[in-house]
Structure 1
């Protein structure tokens, strides 16, 4: 398969690229604009492999995308390019509309024209896989069940609204034009190479630097956590075997409060890298004003992907988090340059919530 991954220098995208190129039968073309969260260093281990190619570019440039599709004879598009951070969408929603909605529209247009030009066998192989989020379903009460694929959309933030809009576009291009698509909606990811303004890496790195560990409100908001490599496996499986026109929820079945996540990180670090004063990292937890429109809970019903495709996460939250902390302890070469940039450092100190 010749696979175009958009946003492949981001957190989930880079994990997907590393996973896909491990199969020498795959040829991966990574298209990324390299905005603040796109980091080529996340791809260092695969950048010289013969079945991997990086192209810096913008999905909003329809003609450039069309040229890539033709030149690389793409069989499958896996679309992850997106603005993703809720706090940033509140501060500046314009870029979220531009990338997540208009960018997806331009990509769909290029994909449709390319698909229509293909001979029958190649057209049968072609697939457009749109990667989305659980946040499109909105706020879930603490005492309710979980989101399934038929849950109505009710986005709460500019970020989730922009992703909901892109999901609707993908479905419309399938139903109106016949473009073969699949959609996945995933829960919160964590793992290596996670940009340090997100909750898990922010807490790990702030703790190691003896800085406050900020938590929104009382920390009671609940998220379902998924180890990023488990997500990459699920994405490959859905792209290859998912039913055309269908959506699949992907989650870790690991609901935790934000405060519980922070406390678990503190407890693991207490064992793996004790503070110089031998006090617990929990002493650094600092509660801050809640974020506007902060959804209470997200939870994913993954019965469909388990039943139809046989996927289940391999990592529990505890094993995945321990692996993640070990990675950050051992790979300062990746995260230290990000933390040292003055603008990023100011921004990271303010970011406290997982999506």
Structure 2
């Protein structure tokens, strides 16, 4: 199929682009190339004959219409989003513009395109809207994990904007008949993740001998999903998912932030020993406002209905992730030179 992937120069999006091309799909990557999007993430496929890139803002209606007309895609996987909680607290309106208005504009462009497809092509068309478990709010320590029936209860401007975009996607499916599928994933990690996120910050600061900042007591719990497993799940949803359905994608790997950080420090000590244990660099800082205590996902529906399950354990995935960053100094040196690594922005999860 020819896939239109939004946000394809970002961390998750670039992994999906590479996975889709490897699976035999053609890909049109639409990305505005904000701070989190980088074509260096796609250097291996930049000249692939089935790959095309369009630099455009999803909130630009004329640009989206032109891209649909020019490329005539057979499916959309919508990942473009502002996604960092701390940034949403500091500047919420950018999140509303991209995540809410941008999604609405893209849905309208997809609806116009879908309406002129032949019956056979329309029957195969899909709009996969990629979201987050954060739209469900927070869990208590003994609560059952989120599933597809969990109520929407977002906390931050980021999660609220994603919840709004989810509702818009479902409305375009119910009102206009657009074949929409919604997915919500747990915390992703892996190669090429922006240095503002937790795991890259831990690695960068630990290697530099700088303090590793941890919000509060560090006992916030997240379910960790390797980005390659997420990409595989999205392609499976595209292939076999039912329009109108929601699928939760999780790694079945709940870990407290502080325990995850200690695991990363131990891996670095083993692979690239230093003079002192990296765990000694852990520094607790003031917690952020309304910090959700626990997320967890029950991915049973996806496993039962579509036969997907994560291929990597969190231990395997973290080992591979640490080794990738150690072996790819050039990738993150360029971002570090821009001032991203080691900032306060990296303490969250």
TM-score, normalised to structure 2, is 0.99
Match of 1:155 in 2: 154
CA distance in 2, matches of 1:69, 1:349: 38
Residue of 335, 338, 344 corresponding to 1:338:
335
1:322 aligned to 2:322?
A: no
CA distance in 2, matches of 1:212, 1:97: 33
Question: Contact 1:216–1:352 at 8 Å: present in 2 too?
Answer: no
What does residue range 93-112 of structure 1 map to in structure 2 within 5 Å? 93-112=92-111
CA distance in 2, matches of 1:352, 1:141: 24
* Residue-by-residue CA offset, 1:137-158 (whole Å, 9 max, x unaligned): 0011011110000100000000
How far the C-alpha of 1:28 sits from its partner, in A, is 0.2
Q: Secondary structure at the match of 1:312?
A: coil
Match of 1:212 in 2: 211
Count of aligned pairs: 349
Residue of 301, 326, 330 corresponding to 2:298:
301
How big is the alpha-carbon RMSD for the aligned residues of Structure 1 and Structure 2?
Answer: 0.8
Match of 1:126 in 2: 125
Q: Secondary structure at the match of 1:325?
A: helix
CA distance in 1, matches of 2:259, 2:314: 11
1:350 aligned to 2:344?
A: yes
Q: Secondary structure at the match of 1:176?
A: helix
CA distance in 2, matches of 1:201, 1:299: 21
1:42 aligned to 2:41?
A: yes
CA distance in 2, matches of 1:11, 1:210: 25
Match of 1:248 in 2: 247
CA distance in 2, matches of 1:164, 1:142: 23
How far the C-alpha of 1:354 sits from its partner, in A, is 3.8
Match of 2:115 in 1: 116
* Residue-by-residue CA offset, 1:315-348 (whole Å, 9 max, x unaligned): 0000000000000000011100111124x35xx4
CA distance in 1, matches of 2:219, 2:209: 24
Question: Contact 2:20–2:235 at 8 Å: present in 1 too?
Answer: yes
Question: Contact 1:30–1:55 at 8 Å: present in 2 too?
Answer: yes
Question: Contact 2:215–2:348 at 8 Å: present in 1 too?
Answer: no
- After TM superposition, the runs of 4+ consecutive aligned structure 1 residues lying more than 3 A away are 352-355
Match of 1:22 in 2: 22
How far the C-alpha of 1:125 sits from its partner, in A, is 1.2
Question: Contact 1:200–1:354 at 8 Å: present in 2 too?
Answer: no
5+ long unaligned stretches in structure 2: none
Q: Secondary structure at the match of 1:351?
A: helix
Match of 2:85 in 1: 86
How far the C-alpha of 1:39 sits from its partner, in A, is 0.8
TM-score, normalised to structure 1, is 0.97
CA distance in 1, matches of 2:72, 2:111: 14
Q: Secondary structure at the match of 2:258?
A: helix
How far the C-alpha of 1:68 sits from its partner, in A, is 1.4
How far the C-alpha of 1:240 sits from its partner, in A, is 1.5
* Residue-by-residue CA offset, 1:123-142 (whole Å, 9 max, x unaligned): 11111000000000001101
Question: Contact 2:201–2:347 at 8 Å: present in 1 too?
Answer: no
* Residue-by-residue CA offset, 1:215-254 (whole Å, 9 max, x unaligned): 0000010000000000000000101110110000000000
